[in-house]
Structure 1
Amino acid sequence: MLLLGIDVGTSSIKVSVVDGATQQTIAAAQYPETEREIIALQSGWAEQAPERWWEDVKAAIKKVHQSGAYDTKDIGAIGISYQMHGLVLIDKNGAVLRNSIIWCDSRAVPYGDKAFAAIGEQECLRHLLNSPGNFTAAKLAWVKENEPGIFEQIDKVLLPGDFIAQRFTGTATTTPSALSEGIFWDFKKNELSGAVMDYFGFDKNNIPEIRNVFAEHGTLYKNVAEELSLKEGIPVAYKAGDQPNNALSLNVLEPGDVAATAGTSGVIYGVSDALTYDLQSRVNSFAHVNHNSNHTRVGVLLCINGTGILNRWVKHLGGALSYAALNEQAASVPPGSDGLLVLPFGNGAERILKNQIVGAHISNIDLNKHSNAHIARAAQEGIAFAFRYGLDIMRENGMQPSVIKAGKANMFLSPVFTEAFVSATGVPVELYDCDGSVGAAIGAGVGAGYFKTPAEAFRKRAAIAIIQPKQRNLYDPLYDQWRTLLEKQLNASAALL
């Protein structure tokens, strides 16, 4: 069986066709080639158009078909990975009511903070494993208060992956994993959180039917199948947020396993068999893809909004520079960037900084010394130091990784970043040839029953490189300088409140 995986990212759509028998990728494509914009109508806001995602998904599938590497009718199941925490609202006719408020939008922070206090901090942490914070439920509360005309028209509240599956099949479903990332899920009761729904005044009928991550989420519409040259009736058999899915793609499924990714945002994601939470909600706990009421598998997620988006910003400073050329520039400068320091936090409120909006900062510029190459290296090192800062928080909460698995993609294509990451964190990294769309394809194979278990789907996948931390003595003092700058900026931001 061939399996089609779709990764609905912030900047583009990636698709892969995987041969279930060999677990190898036959063909892959990305659409569009240039990065999609984030709509920022006000400072701290971030939106995208769900129908644009759907058109891009279809374009990406048509593009991968053009490879001619397979018979499109041999595709037997579809899996979807998607950017987490986004809010998509549709009416009873399936029409989208407004742009999606996406993961890095900061407007809902006050709504989540009020809910945390009103429901009770201990109640939230014990049952939701998180503060409502700036997640999907709080975003919906913002719509209720600020756009009541839209709120009244809502038939279903969807996560981005739920929406794409609905467009394929006409069926609206969701999962415990999706609801947990939206802070709608009660882990103690293993059901939709009555406390959250009641506090915000939400209607339970607006939540779609709840199914397992690995399950049928509808079958392909005839007209969609014809447009995309696929078989009518094949199932959407898997859907998961991008970080649980990235972990799946790296075979990170059991307690102690840890994955990382460094795309637009940066994430370290570890698996626990306990209902664990951070008292300050600086890292967050969600239902992993293989979690159920009898098999506790919680994904502990560290998220840094300002990672690859900073790297992209630096790339644009150089005009038509490619990422490969940017990485070469960064490598031309010694570690420490001749004293230049960069804080990467310019993409909204940061959870690891207790939802403060700190902004990105470049410090210690010497106009007679520093060049674009210094900025490139300092930015990549600053991102690596942000990972170290967040990983130390995870260590406080009992996560002690001996190795971190990552796909050789995005910022892990940069030797400078990878070296800084392993040396700053002190943890080796195993690199794999995979991405989110491959993970989604393999998830579809599990959901469709082609693989009996997720572990079976990874029997033939191995690391392509292992990077050891060889420069701890060099990077530890550089990190200390960076952290001093961060603490100074945090104190300055707090003083303005």
Structure 2
Amino acid sequence: MLLLGIDLGTSSIKVSLVDGATRQTLATTQFPDSERSIISLQTGWAEQDPELWWEDVKAAVRRLHQTGKFKSADIGAIGISYQMHGLVLVGKDGKALRNSIIWCDSRAIPYGDEALQAMGADYCLQHLLNAPGNFTAAKLAWVKVNEPDIFGKIYKILLPGDYIAQRLTGTMTTTPSALSEGIFWDFTAGKISERVMDYFGFPDDIIPDIQPVCSDHGRLTKAVAEELSLTEGIPVCYKAGDQLNNALSLNVMEPGEVAATAGTSGVIYGISDQLTFDPQSRINSFAHVNHGNDLTRVGVLLCINGTGILNKWIRQLTGAQDYETMNDLAQKVAPGSEGLAVFPFGNGAERMLNNKMPGAGLQAIDLNQHSAAHVIRASQEGIAFAFRYGLDIMRANGMAPAVIRAGRANMFLSPVFAEAFVNATNIPIELCDNNGSVGAALGAGIGYGYFKTPADAFLEEDRLEVLEPTRAADYEHWYQSWKEKLERQLMY
């Protein structure tokens, strides 16, 4: 059986087709070719049009057909990975009522902070595992106050993956995992938090039917099947947030296992069998894809919003032709960037900085010494140092990885970034061949029951390379200098 995976990213849609019997990827495509933009109507706001996501999904699937590497009649299940924390509001017709308020939007912070004070930090952390912050529930509260006409038209609230699934199937469902990333889920009670719903004044019926991550979320409609040259009735068997899906694609499923990614956002994501939380909610805990009332599997997540967007901004600023050219230029500068420091915090509020928005920045510029190559290298080192800063918070909360698994993709394609990451964290990294849409396809196989257990989806070794720290002491010195500059900036 063939498995179709869809990865709804911030920049583009990726789709892959995997042969379930061999676990081999038959074809992968992407749409659009250039990075999709974020709508920012005010400072700190971030939106995208869900209808554009849907058009991009269809275009990516059509490209997949054009590869000619499979028979569409052999596709038996569909899985979806999606950008986390986005709010999609739909009417009864399933169409979006407004743009999605996406993951890096910061407008709802005051609503989340007020909820924390009203409901109490003890309740929020012990039951929700997080402060409400600017997650999905707080974003919905912003809409309720500022756009009451739209709020009154809401039939259901959906996460981005829920939205794409319902466009495929006509069925609206969500998952405990999705609700946990929106800060709607009471882990202690194992259900939607009545206290959250009551505090914000949300009607219960705006939440779709709740299904496990790996389960039947609807069947492909006749109209969509005809439009996309697929078979009517194919089930959507898996929906997971991108970081949870990245962990699944790296076979990070059990306590102590840790995954990382450095794409649009930078993330370290570790698995715990405890209902764990950070007292300051600088790192966050969500229900992993295999979490259930009878099996505690919590994903502890560190997020750096400004990772990929900084790399893109530096590319535009320096006029580099492509990212490979940037990486080549970065290698011409000595480690430490001769004192230049870059801070990757210019894409909304950073949770690990207590929801502060210090902005991205460059410090200690020597106009006689530093070149574009220095800026490129310092930006990649700065992102690696931000990972280390967050990892120390995770360590203080009991997460102590002995090894980190990551896909050899995005910024991990840069030797400079990979070296800085492994030495700044002083943790070996296993680089693997993976991508989000392949993970979603394997998730579909798990949800369909094609694989008897999640482990059965990963019979083949996918490790490409292991990177060991070789200059940890040097990078510790440069990191401490970077950290001192950052903490001085955060004081103001």
What CA distance in whole angstroms lies between the structure 1 residues aligned with 2:396 and 2:304? 17
Alignment pair present for 1:476 and 2:488: no
Pair 1:320–1:343, CA change in 2 (3 A): closer
**Map of 2:228 onto structure 1:** 228
Give the Å deviation of 1:298: 0.1
| RMSD value, Cα | 0.6
Q: Note the C-alpha offset of 1:65.
A: 1.2
Are 1:364 and 2:344 an aligned pair?
Answer: no
Q: What residue number does 2:110 align with?
A: 110
CA deviation string 1:359-407 (max 9, x = no partner): 0010111111111100000000000000000000000000000000000
* Aligned residues between the structures: 492
**Conservation of the 8 A alpha-carbon contact between 2:320 and 2:326:** no
Q: How does 1:11-30 map to 2 (within 5 A)?
A: 11-30=11-30
Deviation at 1:40, TM superposition (A): 0.2
Aligned to 1:324: 324
Q: Which amino acid aligns with 2:251?
A: N
Partner of 2:37: 37
1:146 matched to 2:167? The reply is: no
The one-letter code sitting in structure 2 at the alignment partner of 1:37 is: S
Q: Where does residue 346 of structure 1 map in the other structure?
A: 346
Q: Share of identical aligned residues, percent?
A: 68
**Partner Cα separation in structure 1 for residue 213 and residue 44 of structure 2:** 31
Alignment partner of 1:466 is 2:442:
no
2:60 corresponds to: 60
Mapped to 2, the partners of 1:95 and 1:419 lie a distance apart of 45
1:405 paired to 2:401: no
1:178 is aligned to 178
**Structure 1 residue 66 displacement after superposition:** 0.7
Specify the alignment match of 2:276 in structure 1. 276
Equivalent-residue separation in structure 2 for 1:324 and 1:69 (angstroms): 29
Q: Which residue of 1 aligns with 2:286?
A: 286
Query: Is the Cα contact below 8 Å between 1:238 and 1:440 reproduced in 2?
Result: yes
Between the aligned partners of 1:315 and 1:461, the Cα distance in structure 2 is: 34
Does structure 1 conserve the Cα–Cα contact (< 8 Å) formed by 2:103 and 2:135?
A: yes
Residue in 2 that maps onto 1:94: 94
- SS of the equivalent of 1:334 reads coil
CA-to-aligned-CA distance 1:269-308 (integer Å, 9 cap, x gap): 0000000000000000000000000000000000000111
Which ranges in structure 1 are unaligned for 5 or more consecutive residues? 493-497
**8 A Cα contact 1:73 1:229, kept in partner:** no
Distance 2:14 2:488 in 1: 40
Secondary structure of residue in 2 paired with 1:359:
coil
Answer yes or no: is the 8 Å Cα contact 1:23–1:461 preserved in 2: no
Match of 1:388 in 2: 388
**Whole-angstrom distance in 1 between the partners of 2:462 and 2:260:** 16
Q: Which one-letter code corresponds to 2:280 in the other structure?
A: Q
Partner of 2:434: 434
Residue 95 of structure 1 and its aligned partner are, at CA, apart by 1.9
Instruction: Check conservation: 1:237, 1:447, Cα contact below 8 A.
Output: yes
**Distance across 2 between alignment mates of 1:223 and 1:166:** 13
TM-score normalised to the size of structure 1? 0.98
CA deviations on 1:433-459 (whole Å, 9 max, x unpaired) are 111101000000000110011111001
1:182-205 CA-partner distances (Å, limit 9, x unpaired): 000000000000010000000110
Question: Deviation digits for residues 319-355 of structure 1, max 9, x if unmatched?
Answer: 2511111100111100011111001100010000000
Q: In 2, Cα distance between the equivalents of 1:460 and 1:228?
A: 31
Q: CA shift at 1:72, angstroms?
A: 1.4
Uncovered stretches (5+) of structure 2, i.e. residues with no partner: none
> What's the secondary structure of 2:439's corresponding residue?
helix
Q: Is the 8 A contact 1:79 1:444 kept in 2?
A: yes
Deviation at 1:79, TM superposition (A): 0.2
Deviation >4 Å, runs of 4+: none
Inter-partner Cα distance in structure 2 for 1:327 and 1:392? 27
TM-score (norm 2): 0.99
Partner of 1:495: none
1:302 equivalent in alignment to 2:295: no
> C-alpha distance in 1, partners of 2:309/2:470?
27
**Equivalent residue for 2:208?**
208
Counterpart AA for 1:309? I
Equivalent in the alignment of 1:167 = 167
